[in-house]
């Protein structure tokens, strides 16, 4: 290793090492939040390269170093974030859950946050007033109400003026009552589409003129159920799948304006989207009352009553820490090269890969084992019992 600088190839390796190190340090200086991560990745190629020089000679070491440097540059280029500055972001559904946590998170980072809430006088809005800075503005914004969406646009455009709006995060959404697709009333399908899809589309279309001014970001919070079929989520999954497809099309169409679009597909997180017990009772009553007599007979009262168990146990299977989702949204808002799709949370990426790259029968088998339940419709129990009779 002492003879390394005496050869021309050794000097090239040393020069590239210095240049690469300076570049990584500059990147770390511009992105303080990623400083430690960047520095570690910047040290790895030179160290491994020098080790290979000692073992393989200057030529082999330089080859390994250049390869590792290329990989590091690609990785770090994707991690590099733009400065927050005075960037303004609109978030829908900030009363609770992801939207509420995101409003606090972005406000703490220095963003100018416009938090759209369903109830401006509700507990969620009041907590944002109490805990966030004066930069945060609350907007009364039912995304299914065209008048409120237009009023919110006027308020935001008045404040940002010629600067434009840097980001729109379509987060507002509803779950509906988890049940077999045959059992769900049409009102549940329509309501999920109205909020989860049509509401997000209207907000996007309304605020796009402000995003064009800043060449900013459109971020749509979809769901794992929007990328893969999940039993008992026909209405919710269909609406989120529509939102994900909308995101993909808009990503292609808006690129000519310099606007980047991303879809977020979180796995299970504890957000309160399932609602309250009073809401469950109302939805369950609506479901049962709209069932034809023969369908109710085939499924059985015990099966129908057991559907509420899914809602009761849902929080126990969901992660309480929302930081993976918040980090994904932040990257979508600030990364120089944001991803088109983010899958934060355990299992989100794995199940998507199984659905996309494995035979459908394997995916169905996998999900049946993952989501196995002892609840069986009455008619199937009866037919199974009769088949076992001698």
Beta bridge partners of 90: 114, 168
The CA distance from 240 to 224, in Å, is: 9
SS3 assignment, position 369: helix
Residues 6 or more apart whose CB falls under 8 angstroms from that of 59 comprise 9
Q: For this structure, is 236 an active site residue? A: yes
Q: Which of 330, 338, 337 is nearest to 106 (CA)?
A: 330
Q: What is the DSSP letter of 86?
A: T
Q: Give the DSSP letter string of 217-230.
A: EEEEE--GGGTS--
Contacts 24+ apart (CB under 8 A), 9-17: 9/58, 9/59, 9/62, 10/53, 10/58, 12/62, 13/49, 13/53, 13/58, 13/61, 13/62, 13/65, 16/62, 16/65, 16/66, 16/69, 17/46, 17/49, 17/50, 17/65
- The alpha carbon of 280 is separated from its chain's Cα centroid by a whole number of angstroms, namely 26
Angle between helices 58-79 and 8-30 (to 10 degrees): 10
The label of the residue with tokens 């529509």 reads 242
- Alpha carbon of residue 253 to chain centroid: 21
Q: How far apart are CA 187 and CA 68, in angstroms?
A: 55
In the set 153, 236, 299, 303, the catalytic residue is 236
Separation CA 302–CA 376 (nearest Å): 9
Contact 209, 308 (CB under 8 A): no
**What residues are labeled active site?**
236
């Amino acid at each position: 290793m002492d003879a390394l600088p005496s050869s021309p190839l050794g000097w090239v390796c040393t020069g590239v090492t210095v240049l690469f190190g300076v570049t990584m340090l500059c990147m770390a200086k511009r992105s303080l939040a990623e400083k430690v991560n960047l520095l570690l990745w910047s040290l790895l190629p030179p160290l491994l390269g020098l080790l290979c020089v000692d073992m393989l000679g200057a030529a082999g070491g330089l080859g390994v170093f250049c390869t590792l440097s290329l990989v590091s540059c690609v990785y770090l280029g994707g991690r590099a974030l733009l400065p927050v500055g005075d960037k303004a972001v609109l978030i829908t559904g900030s009363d609770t859950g992801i939207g509420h946590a995101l409003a606090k998170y972005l406000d703490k980072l220095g963003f100018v946050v416009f938090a759209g809430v369903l109830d401006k006088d509700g507990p969620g809005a009041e907590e944002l007033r109490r805990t966030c800075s004066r930069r945060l503005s609350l907007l009364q914004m039912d995304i299914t109400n065209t008048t409120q969406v237009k009023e919110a646009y006027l308020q935001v455009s008045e404040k940002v003026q010629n600067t434009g709006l840097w980001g729109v995060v379509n987060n507002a959404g509803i779950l509906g009552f988890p049940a077999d697709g045959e059992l769900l009333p049409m009102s549940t399908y329509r309501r999920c589409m109205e909020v989860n899809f049509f509401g997000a589309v209207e907000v996007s279309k309304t605020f796009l003129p402000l995003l064009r001014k800043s060449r900013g970001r459109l971020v749509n919070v979809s769901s794992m159920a929007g990328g893969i079929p999940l039993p008992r989520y026909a209405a919710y999954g269909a609406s989120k799948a529509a939102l994900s497809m909308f995101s993909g099309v808009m990503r292609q169409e808006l690129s000519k304006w310099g606007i980047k679009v991303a879809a977020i597909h979180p796995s299970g997180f504890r957000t309160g989207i399932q609602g309250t017990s009073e809401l469950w009772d109302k939805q369950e009553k609506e479901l049962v009352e709209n069932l034809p007599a023969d369908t109710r007979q085939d499924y059985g009262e015990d099966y129908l009553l057991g559907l509420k168990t899914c809602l009761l146990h849902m929080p126990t299977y969901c992660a309480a820490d929302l930081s993976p989702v918040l980090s994904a949204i932040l990257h979508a808002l600030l990364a120089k090269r944001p991803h088109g799709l983010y899958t934060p949370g355990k299992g989100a990426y794995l199940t998507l890969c199984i659905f996309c790259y494995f035979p459908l029968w394997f995916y169905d088998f996998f999900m049946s084992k993952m989501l196995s339940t002892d609840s069986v419709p009455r008619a199937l129990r009866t037919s199974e019992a009769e088949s076992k009779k001698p």
